[in-house]
C-alpha cells in the first residue's frame, strides 16, 4: 500500500480524536492532520463551524506549499463535527417544544457548517486515485427509518446534511471519478454528545466505532453518488 495523507475535521471531539489516533498509528499514513475549534499546537490552525472564513483559511494553508504541512492531497478526509445539545438545549421531544432560534442553531451546526466544510475541503482530495470524504450523520437523519418521532431539529439537520453531501458528491465525482463519499452512522458512542441520553451498556467506545467505520469505508467502492452506511456495514435508507 502506498503512503497516504489524512485529515480529520472536528478532531477535538470523542470520535474525531479516535479517528485522528487511528491515522496516527497507521505506518502507511505519512501525515495525519487534525483540525477543530481548538488551535492546533503544531500548525496554529483552527476553525469554527459558524465562521466560513476560518474554514477557507485552513483549507488555503493546507493547499499552500509554504504552509505548515506543505501542499496536501488527502486520501481520507473525515468530518467528525456536530452536536446534539446546542446552547444547553437538548433535542425536542414534542412539536410544541419547537422554537425558531434552536431549529436554526441545529441547522447551523449540523448542516450548514458541514456543507461549508465540503465546499472548502473537497478540493483537497486526491484527484487521480481513490479517495474518501466521510461525514458523521446519524440514523435518526433517515426519513424512511423514522419510526419514533421526536428530536425534530437534530433529525432535520442530519437529513439536510445527508442531502447536501449527496448533492455535492454528484458534482465532485465529475473531477474525482474515484471519489468515495459517505454519510456515517457511528453507533451510539460514549461521548459528551450522548452522555445525557444513553446508558453505558447501550453504547460503544469511540475507538471501537472508528475501527468498525474504517473497515466499512475501506470496502466501499466509487458509485458516483454518496452512500449512507452504519458502523456494521449496513446501508441505511436516505
Instruction: Write the burial class of residue 57 (CB in 10 Å: 0-12 exposed, 13-18 middle, 19+ buried).
Output: middle
Mean pLDDT of all residues in 183-197:
78
Of the CA atoms within 13 Å of residue 97, those in its CB half-sphere come to 10
pLDDT of 100 higher than 60: yes
Of the CA atoms within 13 Å of residue 9, those in its CB half-sphere come to 29
Average pLDDT, the chain: 94
pLDDT of 152 higher than 70: yes
Mean pLDDT of all residues in 78-93:
95
| pLDDT for position 174 | 94
Residues of 126-149 as b/e, b for ≥16 C-beta within 10 angstroms? Answer: beeebbbbbbbbbbbbbeeeeeee
Mean pLDDT of all residues in 164-191:
95
| pLDDT for position 41 | 86
In order of 34, 36, 124, the CA distances from 7 in angstroms are: 6, 11, 10
Q: Which of the pair, 1 or 36, is modelled with greater confidence?
A: 36
Q: Does the pTM exceed 0.75? A: yes
CATH code of domain 4-230: 3.40.50.720
Strand partners, 133: 77, 181
Number of H helices and E strands in the chain, helices first, is 6, 6
| pLDDT for position 1 | 54
Rg from Cα positions in the chain: 17
Amino acid at each position: 500500500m502506498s503512503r497516504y495523507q489524512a485529515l480529520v475535521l472536528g478532531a477535538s471531539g470523542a470520535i474525531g480524536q479516535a479517528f485522528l489516533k487511528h491515522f496516527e498509528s497507521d505506518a502507511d499514513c505519512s501525515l495525519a492532520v487534525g483540525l477543530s475549534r481548538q488551535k492546533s499546537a503544531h500548525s496554529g490552525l483552527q476553525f469554527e463551524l459558524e465562521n466560513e472564513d476560518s474554514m477557507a483559511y485552513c483549507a488555503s494553508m493546507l493547499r499552500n506549499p509554504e504552509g505548515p504541512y506543505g501542499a496536501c492531497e488527502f486520501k481520507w478526509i473525515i468530518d467528525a463535527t456536530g452536536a446534539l445539545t446546542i446552547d444547553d438545549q437538548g433535542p425536542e421531544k414534542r412539536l410544541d417544544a419547537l422554537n425558531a432560534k434552536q431549529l436554526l442553531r441545529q441547522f447551523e451546526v449540523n448542516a450548514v457548517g458541514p456543507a461549508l466544510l465540503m465546499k472548502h475541503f473537497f478540493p483537497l482530495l486526491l484527484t487521480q486515485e481513490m479517495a474518501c470524504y466521510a461525514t458523521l450523520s446519524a440514523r435518526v437523519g433517515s426519513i424512511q427509518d423514522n419510526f419514533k418521532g421526536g428530536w425534530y431539529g437534530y433529525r432535520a439537520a442530519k437529513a439536510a446534511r445527508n442531502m447536501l453531501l449527496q448533492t455535492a458528491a454528484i458534482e465532485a465525482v465529475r473531477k474525482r471519478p474515484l471519489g468515495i463519499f459517505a454519510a456515517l452512522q457511528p453507533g451510539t458512542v460514549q461521548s459528551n454528545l450522548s452522555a445525557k441520553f444513553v446508558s453505558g451498556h447501550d453504547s460503544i467506545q469511540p475507538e471501537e466505532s472508528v475501527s468498525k467505520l474504517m473497515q466499512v469505508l475501506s470496502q466501499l467502492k466509487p458509485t458516483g453518488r454518496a452512500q449512507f452506511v452504519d458502523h456494521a456495514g449496513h446501508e441505511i435508507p436516505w
